Chain A
């Protein structure tokens, strides 16, 4: 079956530090990959996505590249801000999963950014 593994948190950084949150996946087909962000007290919202190998998704200074050879989709940001403090979820949606619309989520990684 499909699975998503992301690094355990919390990740604690100082403002303006470089961020990497690792995400690796297993899938039977050619999935679309997503990063969602959840701010305190809110629902998840899409941060960025990539639909095929070597695609780079980007938004709000965050980037992630779909690496088929390493089955990875690591999230990066060059300079984090306090307002980036949130929980980040890596997810995949695999159209080859028997027509299923059910995505697979990682456990989430909490990011805490200190001033």
Chain B
């Protein structure tokens, strides 16, 4: 069965370190998204991609970057982790406009 996976599921890192969160989907979807979820804020879009070599900023992109070298993967990098980036991160993909999104299980990141 097709799926979307994230790794690691839990990560603790120190302020200032670079961190990369992995997202891998086997749906063969061109469209992929990264969100963060924080209490009181719901889901907030960080970055998204409509295909290989395409990346776009979302509403909370500062301090984050993504790259898309193939259809299956959209890794999220925190260039220099900050305590404000402690959150739960979700990756998602969608087939078409108007279709539902498929979410990964999430990565809980703690920046100390």
Contacts and interface: CB of A to CB of B under 8 A. Distances in A.
Interface of A: 31-32, 34, 36, 41-46, 49, 51, 89, 93-95, 99-103, 105-108
Contacts of A108: 42-43
A75 B94 CA distance: 23
Interface of B: 31, 33, 41-43, 45, 48, 50, 58, 90, 92, 94, 96-106
Contacts, number: 57
A35 to B, nearest CB: 10
B59 to A, nearest CB: 10
Contact of A105 (B31, B42, B96, B102): B42
A44 B42 contact: no
Contacts of A101: 31, 48, 50, 94, 96-97
Contacts of A44: 43, 90, 92, 101, 103
B42 A107 contact: yes
A36 B103 CA distance: 10
Which 5 residue pairs spanning A and B have beta carbons closest together? Answer: A43-B103, A107-B42, A32-B98, A46-B100, A95-B97
Nearest to A103: B101
